[in-house]
Amino acid sequence: MKDILPINGQFALPTLPYEGLGTVISTETLGFHHGKHLKAYVDNLNKLLPGSGLEGLPLSEVIKKSEGGMFNNAGQVLNHAMYFEQFSNAPKAMSPRLMALLERDFGGVGAFKKEFEQKGATLFGSGWVWLSADTQGKLVITQQKNAENPVTLGLTPLLTFDVWEHAYYLDYQNRRADYLAALWQIVDWQVVESRL
């Protein structure tokens, strides 16, 4: 995983690597999600950092060492940075290596996607569904509430789908499962595998 470093003790709003994502995520949703929600998390985190003793640390360390508002905002900055970075209009396919790992740990790519979608659909309330690697290299799926990130569990996060309503409500209304199923069309597996 590529950590995010502060500049002069402050984190920058992560830039989007695209201007739109076709019909999977509308530009309206992107505008609110990135330009309003993520920007607010970055701004809130930057207000909390000075004098906290955590200024200057990489984002994953801020998450591991904080709680309350600092943890929530820092977590949401890392979670959204990873979420937006992993999508593309011209996504790269999965390598045979990752296919083999998904076969080994979930019984196949299709079985992995089914379990990932199911765990995203059944997470109660707001949160994230994650694919991570544990310290032995085994791939695992976790459901995590609110701003939680697998780094607090000692895992290396690889892929995440945001299941907060702000991620899908404008495009899919209450149909969270449809949103989750559609996201596979835009996942850039080269980005996901670069986090391994």
| Cβ 166 to Fe ion shortest distance, Å | 5
Measured from the CB atom, is 40 or 100 closer to Fe ion?
40
Measured from the CB atom, is 98 or 191 closer to Fe ion?
191
Say if CB 58 and CB 4 are below 8 A apart: yes
> What strands, in cross-sheet order, belong to the sheet with 139-145?
139-145, 127-133, 156-162
Residue 117 binds Fe ion (CB under 5 A): no
How far, CA to CA in Å, does 84 sit from each of 20, 52, 76, 133?
11, 28, 12, 20
| Cβ 128 to Fe ion shortest distance, Å | 8
Residues numbered 142 to 181 that lie near Fe ion (CB under 5 A) are: 162, 164, 167
Residue nearest to Fe ion (CB): 162
Say if CB 167 and CB 175 are below 8 A apart: no
Binding mask 66-105 for Fe ion (x = CB under 5 A): ----------------------------------------
Measured from the CB atom, is 117 or 162 closer to Fe ion?
162
Write out the E strands in the chain: 127-133, 139-145, 156-162
Residues 6+ apart with CB under 8 A from 5: 58, 59
Say if CB 98 and CB 192 are below 8 A apart: yes
| Cβ 156 to Fe ion shortest distance, Å | 21
Measured from the CB atom, is 25 or 57 closer to Fe ion?
25
- Per the listing, tokens 């994650």 go with 130
Measured from the CB atom, is 75 or 101 closer to Fe ion?
75
How many residues bind to Fe ion according to rule CB under 5 A?
3
Residue ranges that bind Fe ion, judged by CB under 5 A: 162, 164, 167
